[in-house]
């Protein structure tokens, strides 16, 4: 894989230079200066929170553990990496820069964070400095010019071949761990132990993952972002929702699967129906598909499943129009993914900024752009039995068209979510997740 990435990296770097040239021209700056970032300290303590590198920094090179470092790019020149290797015996010092990307950078090694100033452009007024406020050095304060960020964030949606390669590897790592987690569930493990099996298989710490794992047994599957991880297994493990990812050189995989126990055949039938619908939505990840329209389409399909399986007695159209479908499917169909698990630019109107509004009644959708080749998005429909939302529905006129006995019976299963990472291409979509499962 390293040989392939080495071949793809020069074209990736050339693309970043072109985008940066245009962004700087638009914002009226001469230099792009990117801070890797610095750890933030916990309140009233001397311990830092886990470090998360600036996504703009790791866009340029596969380095995620070099706090205090900087990248400087001036159009027409080689990019420069100012790399902090501190004199420190309390912590592990970052390894010296090495790998296929090193030959493309001028590299300056520093031992103290303040030494970076000697290697940054002198005229700070001509610098677009991208980073968090705590990365600031005297005279070098991130200004994050919105004009430049709008351009960079818009184009970040279009992945280079190098980035697609990174995302494929991340998916393979995530799938390997998902298979281990499913096996643990089948063996009756607790949520905590399922998560441990996942971590052992993915070979990443919880802080290295792109987000906190969601490991939800039974009714916990109705909590969309459940992360409590009970230590004791339930008396009967009827169902599992596992939403867990992986990282590879800073690129994220975001994968969700729902499983029924062998005894829960009725729930398996509902899982199968959602899985079939999800595959249909994936097929629509094509050039020209409006993502918001696909989300609304998903509501109609899922409402049809609810009707076909006897949960509601109204038409799918009525369920969507009345908001009933949102009781059972209360989140968005998915989001952009890449350097961040919820990547930027999902609502942008164009490369100058602006916002494409969400459809009325769908406040949690995370993307409204029209799909184009090289975009990578998640497709994650779901059906849930959420007590809070069901209680609100019972007070509405539509409650008469709900099969409450069946809904009550299915509360024990919590819910279903099935999520794949999918790349839009010039032809059929590339399902990074399903292809990784097939290869495994």
212: pLDDT confidence band, cut at 50, 70 and 90? very high
Mean pLDDT for 298-317 is 98
Q: Give the residue from 155, 190, 209 where a domain finishes.
A: 155
Mean pLDDT estimate for the chain: 97
Digit-coded pLDDT (tens) for 78-87: 999 999 999 9
DSSP string over 326-377: HHHS-S-S--B-SSSSS-S-TTEEETTEEEPPPPTT-TT----SBP-TT-EE
CATH number of the domain to which 33 belongs: 3.40.350.10
Compute the CA torsion angle 123, 125, 128, 131 (nearest 10 deg).
90
Digit-coded pLDDT (tens) for 152-190: 999 999 999 999 999 999 999 999 999 999 999 999 999
Taking the whole predicted model, whether its pTM rises above 0.85 is answered as yes
As to burial, measured by CB atoms within 10 angstroms (0-12 exposed, 13-18 middle, 19+ buried), residue 321 is middle
Mean pLDDT for 325-351 is 98
Report the 10 Å Cβ neighbour count for 43.
6
Q: Write out the residue range of the structural domain in which residue 303 sits.
A: 161-439
Q: Are residues 170 and 146 in the same domain?
A: no
Buried b (16+ CB within 10 A) or exposed e, 273-301: bbeebbeebbebbbeebbbbebbbbbbeb
Mean pLDDT for 338-357 is 98
Q: Six-digit token pair at 52?
A: 């998360």
Mean pLDDT for 302-318 is 98
DSSP string over 419-431: BEEEE--SSS-EE
Closest CA to 334 of 251, 418, 272, 273: 418
Which parts of 250-333 are beta strand (E)? 251-260
Q: Are residues 254 and 119 in the same domain?
A: no
Asked if pLDDT for residue 7 goes beyond 90, the answer is yes
How many domains does the chain divide into? 2
d(CA 157, CA 375): 5
57: pLDDT confidence band, cut at 50, 70 and 90? very high
Asked if pLDDT for residue 2 goes beyond 90, the answer is no
What does the pLDDT read at residue 1?
Answer: 82
CATH number of the domain to which 234 belongs: 3.90.230.10
């Amino acid at each position: 894989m390293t040989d392939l990435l080495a071949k793809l990296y020069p074209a990736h770097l050339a693309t970043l230079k072109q985008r940066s040239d245009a962004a700087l021209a638009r914002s009226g700056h001469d230099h792009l200066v990117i801070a890797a970032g610095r750890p933030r300290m916990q309140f009233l303590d001397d311990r830092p929170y886990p470090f998360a590198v600036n996504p703009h920094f790791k866009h340029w090179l596969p380095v995620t553990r070099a706090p205090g470092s900087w990248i400087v790019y001036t159009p027409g020149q080689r990019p420069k990496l100012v790399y902090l290797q501190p004199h420190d015996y309390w912590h592990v010092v970052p390894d010296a820069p090495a790998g296929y990307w090193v030959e493309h950078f001028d590299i300056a090694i520093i031992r103290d964070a303040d030494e970076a100033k000697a290697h940054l452009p002198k005229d700070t007024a001509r610098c677009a400095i991208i980073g968090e406020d705590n990365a600031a050095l005297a005279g070098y304060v991130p200004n994050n010019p919105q004009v430049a960020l709008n351009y960079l964030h818009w184009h970040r949606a279009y992945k280079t071949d190098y980035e697609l390669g990174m995302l494929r590897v991340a998916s393979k790592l995530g799938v390997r761990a998902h298979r281990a987690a499913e096996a643990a569930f089948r063996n009756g493990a607790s949520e905590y132990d399922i998560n441990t099996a996942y971590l052992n298989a993915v070979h990443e710490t919880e802080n290295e993952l792109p987000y906190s794992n969601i490991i939800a047994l039974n009714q916990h599957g109705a909590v969309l972002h459940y992360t409590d991880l009970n230590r004791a297994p339930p008396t009967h493990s009827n169902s599992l929702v596992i939403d867990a990812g992986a990282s590879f050189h800073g690129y994220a995989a975001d994968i969700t699967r729902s499983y029924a126990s062998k005894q829960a055949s009725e729930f398996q039938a509902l899982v199968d129906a959602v899985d079939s619908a999800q595959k249909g939505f994936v097929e629509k990840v094509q050039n020209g598909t409006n993502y918001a329209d696909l989300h609304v389409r998903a509501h109609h399909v899922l409402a049809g499943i609810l009707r076909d399986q006897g949960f509601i007695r109204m038409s799918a159209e009525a369920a969507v129009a009345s908001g009933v479908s949102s009781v059972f499917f209360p989140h968005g169909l998915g989001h952009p993914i890449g350097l961040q698990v919820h990547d930027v630019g999902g609502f942008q109107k164009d490369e100058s900024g602006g916002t494409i509004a969400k459809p009325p009644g769908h406040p949690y959708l995370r993307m409204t752009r029209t799909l184009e080749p090289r975009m990578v998005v998640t497709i994650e429909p779901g059906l849930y039995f959420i007590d809070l939302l069901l209680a609100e529905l019972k007070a509405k006129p539509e409650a008469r068209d709900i099969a409450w006995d069946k809904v009550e019976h299915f509360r024990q299963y919590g819910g279903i979510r099935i999520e794949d990472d999918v790349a839009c291409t010039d032809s059929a979509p590339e399902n990074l997740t399903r292809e990784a499962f097939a290869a495994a």
